[in-house]
Structure 1
Amino acid sequence: MVRYAEPGAVEWVESGGGPLIAIPETVLPFWAGADGEETASDYDRACEVGGPAGLLPVGDTTALVLGDEPAATATAYLPGHTAFVRWHPAGAEDAPPAGVPEALRTADWQPELCWRVPGPVLLFDAARPGGAGTGTGRVRVPLGPGTYAVRAARVQPGPETWLGLVHLRRLTD
């Protein structure tokens, strides 16, 4: 489900406990989610990605998996920070905590990954098939084609709230 803080503000994608995935639009039909006749579904493959962020082959490119948390969360892409922000507890109706800029500056980042994308991606629950259409439960992230450094961290701004951060930095091709 997509949540809106205020019209035109932040769009949230919720997960019922599994990973979210950011898939380039060009390969959406190749993502079967939890469906499929394979022994291991695409969703199973996404669940096997260790850590808060990882890459997974889809078609002739790769998708970014936002994982590492078996709990309900809400995730948004904040274009002003070029970052995905996963906020727990899920269901919060407001914009992310005001501490996001400070969290991005002071986080203890994990080693970077390099993610090459052909253009815009869609963020949604990895259990859903990519060809399931548009609408609720998906957020379009207008990335330009190129290579991005991806780094992830987890911060705890309050006693019962944590943020999962996945920051993107465009690299020169």
Structure 2
Amino acid sequence: MSLTWLETEGGPFIVVPRSALAQWSGTEGDYDRACEVMDFVGVLALPDGAEALVLWDEPLSTTYFPEHRVLVRWCYAESEEGVADIIRAGLPTAEWEGGPVLSTTGELVMFDAAYLGTEVGTLTDSTVLELGAGRYRVDSASIEPDDLTSFRVHRFVELA
């Protein structure tokens, strides 16, 4: 399985509902709010009542596993070979920490928080998280199968 890893220019990633992309102001205002999040993940309110998820910590390469609804952040590993298998094997035994609740109207888009939402697809790379409308708790865990490999993972748990 080939994975597509996204990078930022040094700041956090932001995950915004596609319907609210135009509301993300990047370095013109929202970026500073995203940088204030000191947890692994945090939720920010947008002007129309939509919510955005901030992935903080370090500016780690990040990818999405849609079949597990999991964002994977690369802390360290010797190579990309076998990463998908390492993550799949680690998910069932990961020690999950409960996280914030995110409400969404559906499809989400992850990109570098420094950019305007309107620049997604033109000036900045992005990835789509296909989630249905609803409320999701975003739990976090580490997958560290050996001393040379570490990934931070965030899963979307649908709430009733």
TM-score range, shorter chain: 0.7 to 0.9
Deviation at 1:124, TM superposition (A): 0.6
State the alpha-carbon separation in 2 of the partners of residues 110 and 82 from structure 1: 16
Instruction: State the partner residue of 2:52.
Output: 63
CA gap of 1:133–1:151, structure 2 versus 1, over 3 A, is closer
Amino acid at match of 2:142: R
2:21 to 21, 28, 34: 28
Deviations 1:7-34, CA, capped at 9 Å, x for gaps: xxx3321123311111001111111111
- Per the TM alignment, residue 93 of structure 1 is displaced from its structure 2 partner at its CA by 5.5
Within-5 A mapping of 1:100-139: 100-135=87-122, 137-139=125-127
**Is the Cα–Cα contact under 8 Å of residues 98 and 137 in structure 2 kept in the other structure?**
no
Does the C-alpha gap of structure 1 residues 15 and 160 become closer, same or farther in structure 2, counting only changes over 3 Å? Answer: farther
For these two proteins, the number of residue pairs brought into alignment is: 158
- The 3-state SS of whatever aligns with 2:144 is strand
Task: Answer whether contact 2:14 2:54 (CA < 8 A) is retained.
Answer: yes
Mapped to 2, the partners of 1:57 and 1:22 lie a distance apart of 12
- Deviation per residue, 1:42-83 (Å, 9 max, x gap): 1111111121111111231111111112xx421111011110
Give the corresponding residue for 2:71: 84
- Paired-residue identity, %: 35
Q: Distance in 2 between matches of 1:119 and 1:150?
A: 15
Determine helix, strand or coil for the equivalent of 2:5. strand
Asked whether 1:18 is paired with 2:19, we answer no
What secondary structure is seen at the aligned counterpart in 1 of 2:89? Answer: helix
Runs of 4+ in 1 over 3 A off after TM superposition: 92-95
For the residues of structure 1 that align with 2:17 and 2:148, how far apart are their CA atoms? Answer: 33
Unmatched 5+ residue regions in structure 1? none
Q: Over aligned residue pairs, what C-alpha RMSD do you find?
A: 2.3
Gaps of 5+ in 2: none
Q: Any conservation in 2 of the 1:25–1:122 contact (CA below 8 Å)?
A: yes
**TM-score, normalised relative to structure 2:** 0.86
Task: Tell me, in whole angstroms, the C-alpha distance in 2 between the residues paired with 1:145 and 1:28.
Answer: 16
Q: What TM-score comes out, normalization by structure 1 length?
A: 0.80
**Cα distance change, pair 99–146 in 1 and its aligned pair in 2 (3 A):** same
Aligned to 1:171: 159
